[in-house]
């Protein structure tokens, strides 16, 4: 008899996006004349940068001839891309990361979900709340938690991100081994300063813990005093892994390319306390289970680092940030307390009551779809997330409807 992995039965069904879809459908049927403006989902809306399109086309043409065709590439990614990343994203910002510490993949979702596989099942895991749900669910699947009670899994250490701590969680009060952090944050839009990240690095060093740092939104950091990478912080190379993605920065959500940085100096420990290289473990896992990203897509990602690519990506990011600024200003002028929207495409808004109540009010009175914060964890209750991923025209229309209706 084939038995299931019982840990899957602990997973709480996430009704968030299906619930939203149901309410939107009901609203559309009742109000066929009102157009819907979606400021809910975390997907980009603008086309790929021209530099990436040109590189994609050229690479596709190479695949058309026996002489220039590419079959399997290196599992960790082609050197041309790993070198462009090391230079363009790290060395240029004073972070000493080498090309062979970069593992190219088809998504930061998979990487941030898979990375926990190389650690012990009894590792104590700390996860922020509210949070991108992948970190929690993959640890539940792996058997690192008990059952869910009142929306929280037994055995996980939750790091509350609240208005009181400026949405930057405090250090855990009980010892933990694996720590997930995400800045600029999804969903709160909060950014961490170098001093705040330094406190986490010091904690990890003192406790032989490891930080998994999700920097999917780093390109939205425009304030030069804020870190884009955890490797801008001293001491991080021994205790931090960083996830990056071309999804939100260069519009690759449907093209798929991302990467994970695993410094060779990062250590985990065997049962008997001996050091083990995290780089070697991840290399083993990655090369066993993954066959890298298609050649044309890696060429398109490489083009992000060309001078034209850099200018085009900055234009994309600035476009969404202009939307974000506008949303935040308008919501604040209506008396709502906001976080994010400055170095982040997300605005996290105090609903002054129930998340779903404000969601329904916005949908029913204006046709604007946001995301109720309760879907991201217990601490998200009482908030909504508005995303800047849409056209400026739609954002203006949405805000004008909200101003008239609220
Ligand atoms: C969108 C997003 C990612 C990126 O995922 P991909 O699989 O690379 O598209 C990673 N982390 C967070 C927090 C995100 O919001």
Gap between the Cα atoms of 382 and 220, Å rounded: 25
pLDDT of residue 16: 84
In this structure, what are the phi and psi dihedrals at residue 256, rounded to the nearest 5 degrees? 75, 95
For 279-336, the pLDDT digits (tens) are 999 999 999 999 999 999 999 999 999 999 999 999 999 999 999 999 999 999 999 9
Contact 338, 9 (CB under 8 A): no
CB 385 less than 6 A from any atom of ligand 1: no
pLDDT of residue 383: 98
Conformation bin of residue 340: beta by default, left when phi > 0, alpha when psi is -120 to 50: left
Name the residue with the closest Cα to ligand 1, atom 2.
Answer: 216
pLDDT at 41 over 90: no
> Which neighbouring-strand residues pair with 371?
385
> Which neighbouring-strand residues pair with 77?
none
CB 361 less than 6 A from any atom of ligand 1: no
Gap between the Cα atoms of 307 and 324, Å rounded: 26
Question: How many angstroms is it from 232 CA to the middle of ligand 1?
Answer: 21
Could you tell me the end-to-end alpha-carbon distance of the chain, in angstroms, rounded to an integer?
Answer: 58
Cα Rg for the chain, rounded, in angstroms? 22
Question: How many angstroms is it from 257 CA to the middle of ligand 1?
Answer: 11
For 334-365, the pLDDT digits (tens) are 999 999 999 999 999 999 999 999 999 999 99
CB 132 less than 6 A from any atom of ligand 1: yes
- Please tell me if the domain spanning 6-47+308-405 has the same topology as the one spanning 69-306: no
Question: How many angstroms is it from 85 CA to the middle of ligand 1?
Answer: 18
pLDDT of residue 365: 96
CB 302 less than 6 A from any atom of ligand 1: no
pLDDT at 15 over 80: no
Mean pLDDT of 147-167: 96
In this structure, what are the phi and psi dihedrals at residue 76, rounded to the nearest 5 degrees? -80, -5
CB 109 less than 6 A from any atom of ligand 1: yes
CB 245 less than 6 A from any atom of ligand 1: yes
CB atoms < 10 A from the CB of 235, how many? 12
Closest atom, ligand 1, to C-alpha of 245: 8
CB 259 less than 6 A from any atom of ligand 1: no
Question: How many angstroms is it from 248 CA to the middle of ligand 1?
Answer: 8
Question: How many angstroms is it from 114 CA to the middle of ligand 1?
Answer: 13
pLDDT of residue 29: 95
pLDDT of residue 42: 84
CB 216 less than 6 A from any atom of ligand 1: yes
For 106-138, the pLDDT digits (tens) are 999 999 999 999 999 999 999 999 999 999 999
Conformation bin of residue 162: beta by default, left when phi > 0, alpha when psi is -120 to 50: beta
pLDDT of residue 17: 84
CATH 3.40.1350.10 fits 69-306, yes or no: no
Gap between the Cα atoms of 237 and 175, Å rounded: 21
Mean pLDDT of 56-65: 98
For 192-227, the pLDDT digits (tens) are 999 999 999 999 999 999 999 999 999 999 999 999
Question: How many angstroms is it from 34 CA to the middle of ligand 1?
Answer: 31
pLDDT at 256 over 80: yes
Domain coordinates of the chain in residue numbers?
6-47+308-405, 69-306
pLDDT at 13 over 90: no
| Mean pLDDT for the chain overall | 97
Name the residue with the closest Cα to ligand 1, atom 4.
Answer: 108
CB 263 less than 6 A from any atom of ligand 1: no
Closest atom, ligand 1, to C-alpha of 182: 13
CB 255 less than 6 A from any atom of ligand 1: no
Name the residue with the closest Cα to ligand 1, atom 15.
Answer: 186
Q: What is the CATH topology of the domain spanning 6-47+308-405?
A: 3.90.1150
């Amino acid at each position: 008899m084939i038995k299931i992995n019982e840990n899957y039965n602990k997973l709480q069904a996430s009704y968030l996006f299906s619930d939203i879809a149901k309410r939107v459908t009901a609203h559309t049927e009742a109000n066929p004349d009102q157009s819907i403006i979606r400021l809910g989902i975390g997907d980009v809306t603008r086309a790929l940068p021209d530099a990436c399109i040109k590189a994609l086309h050229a690479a596709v043409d190479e695949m058309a001839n026996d002489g220039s065709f590419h079959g399997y590439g290196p599992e960790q990614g082609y050197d041309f891309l790993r070198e462009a990343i090391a230079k363009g994203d790290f060395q240029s910002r004073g972070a000493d990361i080498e090309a062979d510490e970069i593992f190219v993949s088809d998504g930061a979702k998979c990487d941030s979900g898979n990375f926990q596989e190389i650690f012990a099942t009894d590792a104590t895991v700390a996860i922020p709340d509210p949070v991108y749900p992948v970190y929690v669910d993959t640890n539940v699947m792996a058997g690192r938690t008990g059952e869910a009670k009142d929306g929280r899994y037994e055995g996980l250490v939750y790091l509350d991100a609240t208005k009181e701590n400026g949405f930057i969680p405090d250090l855990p009060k009980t010892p933990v081994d694996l720590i997930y952090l995400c800045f600029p944050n999804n969903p709160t839009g909060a950014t961490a300063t170098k001093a705040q990240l330094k406190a986490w690095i010091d904690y990890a060093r003192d406790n032989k813990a490891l930080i998994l740092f999700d920097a999917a939104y780093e390109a939205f950091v425009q304030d030069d005093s804020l870190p884009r990478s955890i490797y801008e912080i001293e001491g991080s190379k021994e205790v931090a892994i960083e996830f990056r993605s071309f999804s939100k920065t260069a519009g690759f959500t449907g093209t798929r390319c991302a990467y994970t940085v695993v410094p060779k100096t990062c250590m985990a420990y065997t049962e008997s306390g001996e050091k083990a290289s995290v780089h070697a473990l991840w290399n083993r896992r990655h090369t066993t289970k993954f066959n890298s990203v298609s050649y044309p897509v890696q060429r398109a990602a490489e083009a992000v680092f060309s001078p034209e690519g850099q200018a085009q990506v900055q234009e994309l990011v600035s476009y969404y940030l202009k939307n974000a600024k506008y949303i935040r200003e308008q919501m604040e002028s209506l008396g709502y307390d906001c976080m994010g929207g400055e170095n982040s495409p997300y605005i996290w808004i105090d609903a002054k009551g129930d998340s779903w109540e404000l969601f329904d009010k916005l949908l029913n009175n204006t046709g604007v779809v946001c995301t109720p914060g309760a879907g991201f964890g217990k601490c998200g209750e009482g908030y909504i997330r508005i995303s800047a991923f849409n056209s400026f025209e739609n954002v203006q229309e949405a805000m004008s409807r909200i101003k008239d209706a609220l």
